Structure 1
Amino acid sequence: MAAGGYLRRLTRRLTEDPEQRDVEELSDEVVNTGAQRAIDCQRGQEVTMVGTLRSVETNAKGCAGGVRAEFFDGTDTVALVWLGQRRIPGIDSGRKLRVHGRLGKLDNGTKAIYNPHYEIQQ
């Protein structure tokens, strides 16, 4: 019986959408770490979130010569913006982070945290 369960899980894992699987894993991690979900957070609120970096840009447009990263926690995307930085060691696409800061918005309405405190997660 255990082998049938294993086969079912393996088949599901191989056939499901990888992005959906990532969303489920990130959502579970948010719950397990006690972090806040980005979708529930409002502008002006001090937040702590856990997620992964989907992309990282240096000298990004609208960043005044800074680093901008797209952070995703399984529920919503938040722009992380470090002003005045050319590069930040450890801030790379695919990296898992725990971030803390005050939530704001970019000119286009995207949620953002400027100069967030961060911890690289394993």
Structure 2
Amino acid sequence: MTIDERRSPLRRFIQRLTASEAELHAEELQRESAECGAIPVGTCSRGQRVSVSGRLRTVVYTPRTNLPTLEADLYDGSDVITLVWLGRRHIAGIEPGRQLTARGRVAVRDDRKVIYNPHYELEAPR
């Protein structure tokens, strides 16, 4: 039983009325992530093999002379993790707003959680 299920119906109703749109969106993403068996990004740590699920916020191609990269920030309602594909300029379906599940080992770069060359599955558009 989740914390939300233990609250009285009146308390949940009042909380939903007073919550901001961003808080409601974060709750929805956390619920969807939990339903597919993913680990919350906020609990992931360096070196851990994880399966995370969420929505892509940004997708950026970074041209470099030695190795171009495609980077995407995945938000699951608890935190953001950056997915990095080395040597890629574009991947069909990897675009802002897209829902996906990614698997890989967590690294930390510049105090940010990162998964390099993750295995991913795109979710059907909603």
State whether structure 2 residue 76 is matched by structure 1 residue 73. yes
Q: How does 1:13-52 map to 2 (within 5 A)?
A: 16-52=19-55
> Structure 1 length normalisation: TM-score?
0.82
Identity of aligned residues (%): 38
Give the superposition deviation at 1:33.
1.2
Is residue 93 of structure 1 aligned with residue 93 of structure 2? no
Which segments of structure 1 move beyond 2 Å, counting only runs of 4 or more? 15-18
RMSD (Å), alpha carbons: 2.3
**CA distance in structure 2 between the partners assigned to 1:30 and 1:20 by the alignment:** 15
1:60 CA displacement = 6.0
Matched, 1:53 2:56: yes
Name structure 1 gaps, 5 residues minimum: 1-7
Unaligned runs of 5+ in 2: 1-12
* Residue 64 to residue 22, structure 1, CA distance change in 2 (3 Å): farther
Q: TM-score under structure 2 normalisation? A: 0.79
State how far apart, in whole Å, the 1-side matches of 2:69 and 2:46 are: 21
Q: Which residue of 1 aligns with 2:120?
A: 118
Partner of 1:109: 111
- Are the structure 2 counterparts of residues 49 and 85 from structure 1 closer, same or farther at C-alpha, using a change threshold of 3 Å? same
